[in-house]
Amino acid sequence: MINKSIYIIRKISAIFFLINYVLVTYYWFVFLDLYQPKNLIMKKIYYLCALLFAANGAYAQENALECGTDYLMEEYFNKNPEAKKQHDSFNLELSRLAKSGELSRNVNSRIQQGQVYEIPIVVHVLSKGDALGTENNLNDQQIIDWIDYTNKIFDGTGDRMLNETNGGAVIPVKLVLVKIDPKGKPTNGINRIDLSGNENYVQYGINSNSNFNGLHDVEVVKEYGWESTKYYNIYVAYKSAVGAEATNGYAFFPGGSQSNDRTVMSGSASLVGQQTLAHEFGHALGVFHPHQGYVAGEGKYARDGNGQYIRDENGDYVINVTKPAVCPVNNDCTIDGDGVCDTEPILSLYDTSVNIFRCLTGRINQCTGSPYVGAEQNVMSYTYCFRNRFTPGQMDRAMAQLLRYRENLYTSPVLDNQAKDNNVSLISPSCSPTANERMGNFIIGTVNVNFNEINNWTNPYNTLENNFYKDFTKGYVLAKTTTTIPNNTSTKLNIKTSDTGYLLATKVYIDYNNDGVFSEIDELVLSKNGISRDNSVTSVDVTPPSNAVFNTPLRMRVISDLSNVNITPCGNPRFGDVEDYAVTIKDETLSTDDLKRKKVEIVTNNSTLLVNANDLISNITITDITGRLIYKGDNINKNNFYKDLNTKNQIYIVVVSLKNGTKHSQKVML
């Protein structure tokens, strides 16, 4: 929970600081009135110095606002325990990989030299009516420059930034403003939203918690967010908060349901020279604060007998600590604290018991007993130093999370800046789901369908989107959701289900006879139960039956749910979701000469499979519709083959490879 006492102390401290600067500024102006320079230019310089002195104090206060991600994720995990299980499970996996050295090796093997992973972003600017170009309503060029500055933090080329050559690390990601919007129309990746008529926003800004003042960010996401599996959404508000805590920004960690995926920024932290967006997107890549797990302390300025603030030999204010901060546990650096071994454990350097507006480089780290060695200048730290580095360990962690959870973004079709043509005419299905029966966030559903030209990432069912049924046959433009497959050879179908601790099931139907009805007997092309997060991709070779309708778009229905749910093509999903796509089977019937050269006959007799070919058979594989291997025969070197499978009313996929290099696939029932 948010530490209320810390919050109150910070606000009181801010008030005292403000009073201090007001008084000092006042005496500056009194001095100027008593000793006014005769020269007009000198007078202007004197007044400018006074104003800059006051402004500097105000800036320090603004800069001390924290990131709200810790509070945000605590609240989110409390409401979504399955997401917490997923999060903890992957952290344990990363710990194991780090200890064995596999983490760094795996990341390096996946990242080619010089490869940069582009992340398609949209920046939503939430205006309360301020003039364009001001801090509360940034203009386009300010946003473009800000994104460019952030990218230079990741690649280590920015001013004063460190990279792998001088003590830092490069995180090879690049934020790219998109060029097409969700309707396929041109855009510059900046979406301006006028909230000047929303009194709640105008007065309080945006808040992640609906129980506090401010426009609830979920309302903004529902109304204005772009599809989170294709775009990364960044919202810039004039003021942002997580509950009672004002923030410079906050972001969701990867994993869970990506419907929540977003970064929220305050306008004052969304400028060139600010590292806040790099910090928040670091969280979006699964990187923690170096002070993760510390316990906040309490402190206040020390005063002498005359009520004056006391300074030490370095000129810093002395703090009376009433409650010492507690360092994060660091027994196992691969799992404790931030889970990174090359970032030293530290306290939050914003903590009132630790620091009052000073960079601590060269000072003693209270958690190690030795001088700070870089964590006080880390992009992910709370610090008054210039944030100038990521570490190799943070890079490994970020890239592992990117490769695990962000494939939908770095392979997003919107990066090619072309709307997809999915215009097909389908007959209406005889049935469609009308609801999700449990209406909960269990992270259950289909997340990727890959079938020839189709490669579509989606969110599992979640209450924010209420996406129990997604019909991608009706003019969808952000990814290819229609395809054409041959009638006489197999096409690989891959279904990826969500990353959850539950065992899942998936079924896929193709309406081969185009009657609008999905048959369990001869139109079920994939069926799999007991799918775990470690084997979340289910594959099958799809070969259309000879009596399928050719050269006409047919509906394909993909259903994923909990493993013990009885999935039917017309039933409502219990916990998961249903997705519809379009498949056209192209008639590629061979000529007479081709048939003579390549002919393969596959017939059945009771439970026996018979294969005859005009050329020598090299090998034969038989799988069921779940992709489970039933039989594999190599080096057959005959023109005929038979196999008794001793089954009844089972559907199999038979793939015959000939010596001449041709392959024939056919679905049969035995």
| Domain 101-287+391-414: CATH class, spelled out | alpha beta
Q: How many CB atoms lie within 10 A of CB 490?
A: 20
pLDDT over 70 (residue 580)? yes
pLDDT of residue 334: 98
Torsion on CA atoms 652, 653, 657, 661, rounded to nearest 10: 170
pLDDT over 50 (residue 63)? no
Do the Cβ atoms of 143 and 188 come closer than 8 Å? no
Per mean pLDDT, which range of 4-13, 367-376, 426-435, 523-532 is the poorest? 4-13
CA distance 139 to 48: 27
pLDDT of residue 596: 57
- Please, what sign has the CA dihedral across residues 536, 542, 548, 552? positive
Chain segment 654-664, per-residue pLDDT in tens: 999 998 888 88
CA distance 88 to 106: 20
Per mean pLDDT, which range of 64-78, 276-290, 502-516, 541-555 is the poorest? 64-78
Q: How many CB atoms lie within 10 A of CB 430?
A: 12
Query: Largest Cα–Cα distance of the chain, in whole Å?
Result: 113
Mean pLDDT of 172-183: 98
% of the chain surpassing 70 pLDDT = 89
| Domain 592-669: CATH class, spelled out | mainly beta
Q: Which part of the chain has CATH 2.60.40.10? A: 420-586
Residue 364 banded pLDDT, cuts 50, 70, 90: very high
pLDDT of residue 259: 85
pLDDT over 80 (residue 612)? yes
Higher pLDDT: 662 or 282? It is 282
Do the Cβ atoms of 397 and 175 come closer than 8 Å? no
- Please, what sign has the CA dihedral across residues 194, 259, 243, 384? negative
- Secondary structure tally for the chain: helices H, strands E: 12, 27
- Compute the mean pLDDT over every residue in the chain, rounded to the nearest whole number: 89
Q: Is 326 helix (H, G, I), strand (E, B) or coil?
A: strand
Which phi and psi (to 5°) does residue 665 adopt? -125, 140
Q: Which part of the chain has CATH 2.60.40.3080? A: 592-669
% of the chain surpassing 90 pLDDT = 75
Residue 65 banded pLDDT, cuts 50, 70, 90: confident
Output the DSSP codes for 105-120.
HHHHHHS-TT--EEEE
Per mean pLDDT, which range of 63-72, 74-83, 538-547 is the poorest? 63-72
CA distance 384 to 61: 11
Chain centroid to Cα 387, Å, comes to 24
pLDDT of residue 399: 98
Superfamily of domain 420-586: Immunoglobulins (2.60.40.10)
CA distance 616 to 334: 56
Mean pLDDT of 112-122: 90
CA distance 512 to 527: 17
Q: How far does the chain reach from its first CA to its final CA, in angstroms?
A: 61
Give the 3-state secondary structure of 396-412: HHHHHHHHHHCHHHHCC
pLDDT of residue 591: 53
Residue 388 banded pLDDT, cuts 50, 70, 90: very high
Q: Which part of the chain has CATH 3.40.390.10? A: 101-287+391-414
- Please, what sign has the CA dihedral across residues 82, 86, 92, 93? positive
Per mean pLDDT, which range of 69-83, 345-359, 381-395, 623-637 is the poorest? 623-637
Chain segment 18-30, per-residue pLDDT in tens: 444 444 444 434 3
Joined together, the tokens standing for residue 433 give 């789901």
